[in-house]
Structure 1
Amino acid sequence: MLQPPVSVVDDVDLRLVVPGDEGLLLTATLRYEASDPYAVEATFRAGEEAISWVLGRDLLSDGLQSECGEGDVHVWPTVEDGHTVVMLQLSSPDGSALLAADADGLEGFLARTYDAVPLGYEGDHLDVDSAIVQLLA
């Protein structure tokens, strides 16, 4: 019997880091789908504007402990005003952004994703046939 798709969705408060300023407060909706078990979609919103990025679940998890990432996304923990935050540096041809997220909120979201699809069992949730159809479309 097929299990219904599992989704984990959470809103996380972020701060866009702006040199010489307090920054801009943003909200990101993090979405994890068991059918795409290696990825987390992050939709960043500020007012009417929204930008989505697909991030590796393991990258976010590893970034809670140490600096990691290559290319367009870098993640690392740091301490601000006595509490741990996770820094996300995102780069694209259109520009770059440095974001600070509450580590506890991110860790709670990731824990729920690992409840849905435990580490090491991601392959059990992949629909390879569907992925091949999408690639060939």
Structure 2
Amino acid sequence: MDLKFRVFATISKPVHEVFEAVADPAQLSQYFTTGGARGRLEEGATVTWDFHDFPGAFPVYVGEVVPDERIVLEWKANEPGADGPDYNTTVTMSFRPVDGDPARTLVEIAEEGWHETEAGLQASYGNCMGWSQMLAALKVWIEHGINLREGMYK
């Protein structure tokens, strides 16, 4: 069993605007990282993200950035109560115009690398839910200026 998933959403904004809404910590903090993001998503950087539902800032390692196309991150697998040493999973975010329409962007987020255990499976489900929420929050933030996560985890 290979524990991985892919979620996606179409956002009615140009690729560059959508990419920047993810890469720029000031924007990411407005709709996703409810406790704040520190550091721009740039290749080789280690940034921190904080969430009210998972308090305490934690590191996110930026492995690859292709502007307006792809961001590859690594972060600690969240396996509460799991035995064994800590390990990272890999998150790949892809951005591309929808059917050649420069005003619409398809964002795909894939995550992989969990240990093939019950704890790994449960952790993957939690992250799948989180990335689905992120895409929904990104869409309504960038299209309508609404923060879906406001007050959700306080």
TM-score (norm 2): 0.32
| Larger relative contact order, structure 1 or 2 (CA cutoff 8 Å, min sep 6) | 2
Structure having the higher Rg:
1
Q: How does the TM-score come out when normalised to structure 1? A: 0.34
Higher strand share goes to which structure?
A: 1
